[in-house]
Chains A and B, each alone.
Chain A
Amino acid sequence: MDLLLAATDIRGHLGTIGYGLAAIGPGIGVGIVFAAYIQASARQPESAGFNRTWLIFGFAVVEALALFGLVLAFALT
């Protein structure tokens, strides 16, 4: 590690990289949630209002994982 630091002179916080990695999964997940909502309400427009509740629900549950990454990036300094 020290050798790598000396050779490349890269400095910073590993938490930044960790948060980037933690955001990949929820990024894909949120995309799937919204894609499914758009597809469902395009096929059956009258269900859009009913689905919106579950869209927000699914979005919130998936997004929590990315936020864990953000908090841990600051907490584990």
Chain B
Amino acid sequence: MSVQPAPLAADFPPGTGDFDFTSLIPSLRGSDLGLAFTKMTFMVWLGVALLIIFFLVAYRSPKLVPTKRQWLAESVYGFVRDGVAKEVIGREGIRFAPYLTTVFLFILVTNSFAIIPFFQISPNAHIAYPIILALLSYVLFIVAGVRKQGFVQYFKVNLFMPGIPWPLYFLITPIEFISTFLMRPVTLAVRLFANMFAGHLMLLVFTLGGVAMLGSANFFIKGLSVASFAMAIIMTFFEFMVVVLQAYVFTMLTASYVEGALAEQH
């Protein structure tokens, strides 16, 4: 399954090259289609398939007294609906709960591949996937705002805050434009990407560093490689925390942007 080259001491300072994967289908390697069937895309397909199958099975025959699987599916949806959509957006937010749950679970599952043995890298460590997720949320909150308030009113509320002296608009409007319409999607994408990228790099540093130390001629450095491997295990637990936190943060921020777009006042 893993196409990653065997870790060698020569690989030690890990770099961006460790994030490149060749095609899973050998005959396609080097061609344009090669990048369509890599370990990354395989993990995304697998994650989506797992989610769809889980929810189909859990809701095949819904009962009033839920079964264990149905309870799990309902409590995940209930958590996002009550804990994120209702709490951040308010009563109106229930409409957005399905999207928020989908995004939360998709990011949670794809992020989890970062710590599952034999996968050991998250698809979100390639910026292409977070960019698409961020664009979806970007379009969602703009469309939600425009549909609620109308095109002109929405941009007027967001770019020209009411109640301040007019010369200040020269200062405020560019800042508001940059922070709302440029920085929001960029930070959404970069935050998720950089967390998974840095997490994988950190694991590589300690694992490959351990291998490099083990290959050393010096007896003491050889013995100290144990510390490096132990650190890799600790970092894996830390990574688990980051995985869950980033899925939650992405959902939370999307909800909060939608809330800002729906608000009549700034």
Q: Which residues on A are within 8 Å of B, measured CB to CB? A: 53, 56-57, 59-61, 63-64, 67-68, 70-71, 74
CB distance A56 to B249 under 8 Å? yes
Cα–Cα distance between A27 and B195 once the two chains are bound (Å): 15
Cα–Cα distance between A73 and B194 once the two chains are bound (Å): 11
Cα–Cα distance between A38 and B190 once the two chains are bound (Å): 28
Interface of B is mostly: helix
Residues from chain A with a CB closer than 8 A to the CB of B252 are 53, 56-57, 60
CB distance B187 to A64 under 8 Å? yes
Cα–Cα distance between A75 and B191 once the two chains are bound (Å): 15
Which of B88, B191, B256 contacts A67 (CB under 8 A)? B191
Q: Which residues on B are within 8 Å of A, measured CB to CB? A: 16, 87-88, 187, 190-191, 193-195, 197-198, 245, 248-249, 252-253, 256
Residues from chain A with a CB closer than 8 A to the CB of B248 are 56
A-B contact count (CB 8 A): 36
CB distance B253 to A60 under 8 Å? yes
CB distance A71 to B190 under 8 Å? yes
Which of B190, B195, B256 contacts A57 (CB under 8 A)? B256
Query: In this complex, what residue of B is CB-closest to A50?
Result: B87
Q: How far does the Cβ of A55 sit from chain B's closest Cβ, in whole Å? A: 11
| 12 A-B residue pairs with CB within 8 Å | A53-B252, A56-B245, A56-B252, A60-B191, A60-B249, A64-B190, A64-B191, A68-B190, A70-B198, A71-B194, A71-B197, A74-B16
Cα–Cα distance between A31 and B195 once the two chains are bound (Å): 18
Cα–Cα distance between A52 and B195 once the two chains are bound (Å): 21
Cα–Cα distance between A57 and B84 once the two chains are bound (Å): 12
Cα–Cα distance between A74 and B17 once the two chains are bound (Å): 11
CB distance B253 to A57 under 8 Å? yes
Cα–Cα distance between A65 and B194 once the two chains are bound (Å): 11
Q: How far does the Cβ of A69 sit from chain B's closest Cβ, in whole Å? A: 9
Query: In this complex, what residue of A is CB-closest to B248?
Result: A56
CB-based closest 8 A-B pairs: A67-B194, A60-B249, A64-B187, A64-B191, A71-B194, A70-B194, A70-B198, A67-B191
Residues from chain B with a CB closer than 8 A to the CB of A64 are 187, 190-191
Residues from chain B with a CB closer than 8 A to the CB of A70 are 194, 197-198
Residues from chain A with a CB closer than 8 A to the CB of B195 are 67
CB distance A67 to B253 under 8 Å? no
Q: How far does the Cβ of A61 sit from chain B's closest Cβ, in whole Å? A: 8
